[in-house]
Amino acid sequence: MPLDMETIVQSVTKTNRVLIVEEDNVTGGWGAEVAARLSRDAIYQLEGPIVRLAAPDTPLPCAAQMEKH
């Protein structure tokens, strides 16, 4: 935060498309929040689905055994 949704919605209105790219996992990442807000605020401006490009859903290697694996 802060997330400047006004600027993002203006961009969507201009391009009519959304590609969210993030380094986080697909599930539960910040891109999911942006997609949800755009679905609420700019759904009628979109000419296609919101596309998300992110890391696959994998556990974080927080234990020594997981890091070795």
**pLDDT digit string, tens, across residues 2-59:** 889 999 999 999 999 999 999 988 888 899 999 999 999 999 999 999 999 998 888 7
**Residue 46 CA from chain centroid, whole number:** 15
Q: What residue spans define the domains of the chain?
A: 5-68
Q: At what angle do helices 30-41 and 5-15 cross, to 10 degrees?
A: 70
CB 29 within 8 A of CB 56: no
pTM, two decimals, is 0.77
CATH architecture type of domain 5-68: 3-Layer(aba) Sandwich (3.40)
What six digits make up the tokens of 42?
């700019």
Q: Whole-angstrom Cα distance, residue 57 to residue 45?
A: 30
